[in-house]
Amino acid sequence: MMAEVRMATHCLAQYSMVSPFLSDFKIMKYISKKIVVMMVAIVILTQSGCKKGWLDVNYNPLQLTDQSATPDLVLPALLESCIATDSKTKFIQQWMGYWSYYQMNPGLNQVTYLRIQANENTFNLQPRPEIFYLEKKAKGSGQQFYEGIAKVIRALQWHRAVDVINNMPYSEAYKTDIRQPKYDDARLIYEDLMVQLDLASGLIKNADINKNIKLALSDIMFHGDKTLWLKFINTLKLRLLVHQANRPDRAAYITEQIQKIEAEGSGFLESGQDAAVNPGYVLGKNLSRYFGLFSSHNIYGGGEFSAETQLATDYYAHANLYSMELLKANEDPRLGYIYSTIDDEVPQGAPEPFTQSSPLNFRANKFGLYIDNLEYPYQNNTYVSAVGGSRNIEVVHPSASGIIKGHNMSDWVMTSVESYFLQAEAVQRGWLPGDAESVYKEAVRESFRWLNVGENKGDPGLSDAIFEDWYSRQVAAGNSNVSWAAAPDKYKLIMIQKYHAFNGIEPMETWVDYRRNGRFPNVPASLSPQRVGNTVPFRLLYDQLEYELNQEHVTAQGQIDVFTSKIWWMP
């Protein structure tokens, strides 16, 4: 009998000839341009000649056997595939008013919104086939902790996919005897993901660590810490519930699920407790994905194994005028940590394409506005602010501040900042006990800590002091975009501060908030003269290959319009 993993590889290859849910949105890209592709993520440990502590996430699926692809070898690369911000999310950063490149092709689909599809060339937050392999392999070998982690990854990756295209294959996905998988109702997918998280919580809580081989090494996120995994599960559950919070018909379901979270008792991710991965990023082997992709001062190469990729992506990671002006208007100290000061000073009296407010050592572009260098020679990347912390190109150290903190920084899957903002919304809605104002302030304070505004990671009180001083001044000024007392709409206050806190960090969740909150904040549309709509799209189209290879099921979803077709959790 063919080994289990070889059979899986064979079947997935067949799938790619039938349903693009194993090709472009495709869930995987198989044997294209003679590049080794990912089916089951084998990780070569230090015995392979790698530097000590490094988990190599390069592998060849054709060399796998059922014996070699054990859970401890599959897990690291699978966890690394869960990071929140990579090269495929850069256009969401631009849609959401965070980033902007000065010479975006005005005819590019991401700029015009024309027929923008969920495929590998545009946007590929795909669930990975290894998830089901890991679940099955871990269960068969009695390694409950690994099985629980696989279920968490399933919930994480599948909800992200649903948030982009709504209904999609789930119950029949990766069934080796089904060539055209049916599309499941997106709401039912979400509900099953909550079930999977319940199961994951029980598996992890009751797991015998000693029976889960090399877990502390292969778990590149929490290193086998049960408490942190349980907190992460609860925080992820809360995220999924918050997504559907503005649908009144979901109230009873949400109440039931909140009661389960409270009964479990582990709470949520706390200050400094990011769900973040790090297989041992080192120079000469591999760098932090985020650093490699988006640091404008990176001299070491790309964060996704390709210097070519890095050179094509850091250009995009420059300030968008919309969000920068909001930060300036609030006199927000995070301005200099979300964005960097410009590299080159603009000569006095130089022509500028639009007005920018002070301080002028922070400058931005407008999304979709193509800049002619001959007319405006001082609007290219060196005259526009990059991502905050871009000059931190050495190893992470306590004073490193901003979004980028060094070439070996961990890549986040979910941040403590999000945990606090989710809790703030839950308390404000009456789901969780507590004082809404206090939890709101804790969430904004955590953003200051996360960015290390106090420039001493070992003493978060320094960041707290800067927050308290700023907040007090804004309260005195009656700033309704900061002050709880001055804000007429407390919910919108939480949302606008969440918007600022997620700048450059979590664009997907910002897009979710924009859609579930009736296009709030009112992010400006692309300025491309070729744009086909006046608002940011609600969703992406299915991959065209789905219409060619899985026509019956995809056409049953009806006519899709990116501006009017809603994701299921939208009111």
The pLDDT of residue 65 is 55
Which one is predicted more confidently, 89 or 187? Answer: 187
Domains of the chain and any CATH numbers: 4-221+534-555 (1.25.40)
Q: Which pLDDT value is given to residue 35?
A: 24
List, for residues 263-279, the tens digit of each pLDDT value: 999 999 999 999 999 99
C-alpha span between 467 and 337 (Å, rounded)? 13
pLDDT band at 100 (very low <50, low <70, confident <90, very high): very high
Tokens representing 162 are 């649903």
pLDDT in tens, 408-459: 999 999 999 999 999 999 999 999 999 999 999 999 999 999 999 999 999 9
Task: Provide the 3-class DSSP secondary structure of residue 336.
Answer: helix
| pLDDT at site 111 | 95
Output the CA–CA distances (angstroms, integers) from residue 280 to 21, 305, 405, in the order listed: 32, 14, 15
56 backbone dihedrals φ, ψ, rounded to 5° = -80, 125
The rounded distance, in Å, linking the Cα atoms of 468 and 362 is 24
Dihedral (Cα; 18, 22, 23, 28), 10-degree rounding:
-160
Pick from 195, 127, 129: which is nearest to 156 by CA?
127
Among 47-61, 96-110, 417-431, 458-472, the least confident range = 47-61
Per the CB < 8 A criterion, the answer to whether 437 and 484 are in contact is yes
CA-wise closest residue to 498 among 399, 404, 570, 428: 428
Cα separation of 38 and 368, whole Å? 34
Confidence of residue 15 (pLDDT cuts 50, 70, 90): very low
Look up tokens 């806190």; give the residue.
501
What average pLDDT does the structure give for the chain?
88
Q: Which of 12-21, 108-117, 389-398, 475-484 comes out lowest in average pLDDT?
A: 12-21
Cα separation, 409 vs 22, in Å, equals: 32
Q: 28 with 39: CB under 8 angstroms?
A: yes
Q: What is the pTM of this model?
A: 0.90
Question: What's the pLDDT band for 301 if we cut at 50, 70, 90?
Answer: confident
What confidence score (pLDDT) does residue 302 get? Answer: 64
Alpha helix (H) residue ranges in 81-143: 90-95, 109-112, 130-140
**C-alpha span between 79 and 244 (Å, rounded):** 26
Pair 337, 389: CB distance under 8 Å:
yes
Model pLDDT, residue 86: 87
Identify the weakest region by mean pLDDT among 50-59, 97-106, 381-390, 525-534.
50-59
Which H/E stretch holds residue 463? helix 460-477
In the prediction, which pLDDT does 312 show? Answer: 52
- pLDDT range class, residue 560, cuts 50, 70, 90: very high
Task: Tell me how far apart the alpha carbons of residues 193 and 203 are, in angstroms, rounded to a whole number.
Answer: 15
Would you state the pLDDT for residue 63? 46
Query: Residue 121: its pLDDT value, please?
Result: 74
Of 294-308, 341-355, 408-422, the range with the lowest mean pLDDT is 294-308
pLDDT attached to residue 122: 73
User: Using CA atoms, how far apart are residues 487 and 430, in angstroms rounded to an integer?
Assistant: 19
pLDDT band at 67 (very low <50, low <70, confident <90, very high): low
The whole-number average pLDDT for the span 446-474 is 99
CA–CA gap between residue 386 and residue 369 (Å, rounded): 17
Q: Calculate mean pLDDT across residues 46-66.
A: 40
Mean pLDDT of 309-318: 70
pLDDT single digits (tens) 231-262? 999 999 999 999 999 999 999 999 999 999 99
Is the pLDDT at 370 greater than 80? The verdict is: yes
Q: What is the pLDDT of residue 304?
A: 54
What's the pLDDT band for 29 if we cut at 50, 70, 90? very low
Q: What is the mean pLDDT of residues 56-60?
A: 42
Burial class (CB in 10 A: 0-12, 13-18, 19+), 281: buried
Phi, psi of 135 (to 5 degrees): -55, -50
- 293 vs 152, residue with greater confidence: 152
Decide if pLDDT at 45 tops 60.
no
Alpha helix (H) residue ranges in 124-185:
130-140, 144-165
* 8, pLDDT greater than 70: no
Higher pLDDT, residue 545 or 363 = 363
pLDDT of residue 297: 92
Predicted pLDDT of residue 66: 64
Gyration radius (Cα) of the chain, Å: 23
**Mean per-residue pLDDT, 212-224:** 98
User: Regarding predicted confidence, which is higher, 565 or 310?
Assistant: 565
How far from chain centre, in Å, is Cα 282? 23
Distances (CA, A) of 268 to 144, 233, 236, 264, 503: 22, 8, 9, 11, 22
Q: How confident is the model at residue 377 (pLDDT cuts 50, 70, 90)?
A: very high
Q: In this structure, are residues 171 and 132 in contact, taking their beta carbons and an 8 Å threshold? A: no
Q: How many CB atoms lie within 10 A of CB 153?
A: 24
Which of 212-216, 280-284, 346-350, 402-406 has the least mean pLDDT? Answer: 280-284
Q: What is the pLDDT of residue 449?
A: 99
Average pLDDT over every residue of 307-322: 75
**318 or 61, which is more confident?**
318
If you average pLDDT over residues 138-153, what whole number do you get? 98
Distance CA 414, CA 59 (A): 26
Higher pLDDT, 129 or 7: 129
What pLDDT is attached to residue 306?
52
pLDDT value at residue 11 = 37
Per-residue pLDDT at 299 exceeds 50: yes
What pLDDT score does 126 carry?
Answer: 76
